[in-house]
Chain A
Amino acid sequence: MIIPRLALRNLLGAGLRTWLNVIVLSFSFVLIIWLQGLYKGMGDQARVAQTDAEFGGGQYWQENYDPFDPLALQDAHSSVPESLQTLIENKQAAAILISQATIYPEGRLHTILMKGIDPAQSVVTLPTQFLDQEGEELPALIGTRMARNTGLKVGDTVTVRWRDSQGTFDARDAKIVQIMKTSVPSVDLAQMWVPLDKMQSLTRMKNEASLVILAQGTEEFPQVSGWIHKDMKFLLKDIDYLVKTKSVGGSIIYTILLCLAMLAIFNTQVLSIFRRRKEMGTLMAMGMTRSKIIQLFTLEGAMHSVLAALVAAIYGIPLLAWSAKTGWAMPEAADDYGIAGIGEALIPVYGTGLVVGTVVLVLLVTTIVSFLPTRKIAKLKPTDALRGKMT
């Protein structure tokens, strides 16, 4: 027990030098936790937003459907199989029909995806109830990004042109019945939502769909011929990759900061061992073994991280709590980043694992860095040390 007590006394005795190292290291603590929390929060927000607005509890894709190949959409539709039709009728699933189309707001050409959805569906959080309108014009729901890009407003009429199942052109005037604000660009950008039954009739694709979204909580996924089940792990894969990539990018920043802190600690240790030769000689003369002296110096260095954790807790906890409450306000341009869930603010999420992991990481790195300069002590002769010599 003498070594930890001695180490703490020596450390505190070093005064300003210790506190400078501790403060720099505490910055690393706070920054690592904040950045990782930010990325975790971004991932969680994106997952929740995309699940609610687009993915539901998983999807069935028509076998030719590929969201990254708009040219294949012409063949990506077929009759909804009976097993899925039953789920749709029980409001446990929603069918979506997708077709390439062109709109001409103010005579300008915009290529879009026209998506048919049941106005009465409750599987995804899109405000599809606005599509439940009668009239000559085709009711259409668009997002704020699409509205901004095309200059369309609620009540505007725009000509939309598409090809039906036989490849014949058809065109109608569509009336914008609602502009939805969503944090999910993939249900907004270059897309127009219309009533499913009208789209099926206009495109001559009666009872057909391109994909079926299952309600959240669906647990049974039967095999359906001609349709492929896509689970949440597959659907959220892109978000996971994105968060992973962002985390790696962020880790570069805090690795630099951590390296600076470690450099300061390493420097302190080297200087300390050089200046305290006589002290080491005295301890050896009094019977302390070399390994005990190495332990003492290593512990002194490692204790920087313990003190840094305490200092970081003093100012970091209120700071991180405030950040978790208010979030990080996003600029308007963030809307165009194409990341779901980033609305007006990014809310960081700090888990126990993240905090404990960060403390252990910093403690481990500090201990290693503190130990490295002490290896010289192993070769130290007590007589030389007492004379103030290093061998």
Chain B
Amino acid sequence: MKKTISVFSLLVLMTATAMTQAPPSGEDILKRVDANIGSDNKIATAEMIIHGRRGSRSIKSKSWIYGIEKSYTEYLAPAREAGTKMLKLEEQLWTYIPSTDRTIKISGHMLRQSVMGSDLSYEDMMEDPELLNLYNANIIEESTFLERPCWILELTAKVEDISYHSRKIWVDKERYVSLKEERFARSGKLLKVFEVKEVRSIQNRWVPVHMVFKDALKSGKGTEYFIESIEFNADIPEALFTKASLR
């Protein structure tokens, strides 16, 4: 009888251990990824280097982001782009160009155009950063990327009106940061690749500070994106998110 109880206890212990070590579900991982990067508001200064066929050009900008609905971006350099501002309020986007002193609403199909000739479209920039709202997630593989152990998640669209039907993301198992992302067409053809080159710990969050976006169908080195500084839960005046602040 004693022997039977010992064997039973051992089995229960083994099961419990196995359960605690079971990998989280795809959705749990996405939640953690969204929670790591998500914030009520943030202020970031970034540099975008667009590698073209005839050379590269760099664009610096400062963004004030409030949740996922509002953002305000001002371009700082080069001189030609300096003073250009962009305001996103939910699904709407306005841009102010100082040389013409006009505010233009970028809507409908114009959102699908490239941002300043980069590999990113306005739509890419405006998309809901919380992937869980848009995709179902499944773990399909475990791998290593940038010498970090990762889960590879397959995301399949759960809404109809979405740019990319499916995605594959490499999520750091410990830091819950997306290190690589592949975006696919409905046919399964790879369209865009996003790779993180460097991750830093900022205000107790793991933040990708150097990324490369690339149109997979196009030759070239893509567009590099450097986050020079970022402040989470910053104090942003509400008045910034109005059309009046563009001028």
For the complex, give the distance between the alpha carbons of A15 and B53 in Å. 71
* B217 in contact with A171 (CB, 8 Å): yes
Is A169 a contact partner of B217 (Cβ separation < 8 A)? no
Report the separation of the CA atoms of residues A164 and B187 in the bound assembly, to the nearest whole angstrom: 11
Q: Which of A81-89, A105-113, A360-368 contacts B (4 or more CB under 8 A)?
A: A105-113
Q: Mark B113-133, 1 if CB is under 8 A from A, else 0.
A: 000000000000000000000
Query: In the complex the two chains form, is A171's CB within 8 Å of B185's CB?
Result: yes
Question: Which residues of A are found within 8 Å of B247, using beta-carbon distances?
Answer: none
Complex Cα distance A109/B219, Å?
9
B191 is contacted by which of A71, A108, A161 (Cβ under 8 Å)? A161
- In the assembled complex, the Cα of A244 lies from the Cα of B16 at a distance in Å of 88
Contacts between the two chains (Cβ within 8 Å), count: 63
Q: Are A171 and B160 in contact (CB under 8 A)?
A: no
Partner of A171, one of B108, B109, B110, B191: B191
**Would B162 and A168 count as touching, CB distance under 8 A?**
yes
Q: 8 Å CB contacts to A: which residues of B196-230?
A: 215, 217-220
Q: How far is the CB of A133 from chain B (nearest CB, A)?
A: 19
Encode A141-179 as 1/0 by CB contact (under 8 A) with B.
000000000000000000101011011111110000000
Q: Is B186 an interface residue (CB 8 A)?
A: yes
Q: Give the complex CA separation of A205 and B237 in angstroms.
A: 46
The answer to whether the Cβ of B174 comes within 8 Å of any Cβ in the partner chain is: no
Q: Are B163 and A167 in touch, CB under 8 angstroms?
A: yes
Docked-complex contact A161 and B217, CB < 8 angstroms: yes
Q: Mark B88-126, 1 if CB is under 8 A from A, else 0.
A: 000000000000000000001110100000000000000
Bits for B149-169, please: 1 = Cβ < 8 Å to A, else 0.
000000001001111110000
A169 touches B215 (CB 8 A): no
Q: With a CB–CB cut-off of 8 A, which chain A residues contact B112?
A: 163
Given contact pairs A109-B218, A167-B162, A169-B163, A161 touches B185 in the complex (Cβ within 8 A): yes
B191 and chain A: residue at smallest CB distance: A169
Cβ B218 vs Cβ A107 within 8 A: yes
Closest to B192 in A: A169
A242 touches B (CB below 8 Å)? no
Given A71-B110, A170-B187, A171-B187 in contact, is the A159-B217 Cβ separation under 8 Å? Answer: yes
C-alpha gap A117/B145 in the complex (Å): 46
In the assembled complex, B57 has its CB within 8 A of some CB on chain A: no
> Could you name 10 residue pairs across A and B whose Cβ atoms are closer than 8 Å?
A71-B108, A107-B218, A108-B219, A109-B218, A161-B189, A168-B162, A168-B165, A169-B185, A170-B165, A171-B189
| Chain B residues in the interface with A (C-beta under 8 A) | 53, 108-110, 112, 157, 160-165, 185-187, 189, 191, 215, 217-220
Chain A residues within 8 Å of B, Cβ to Cβ: 71-72, 74, 100, 102, 104, 106-109, 159, 161, 163-164, 166-172
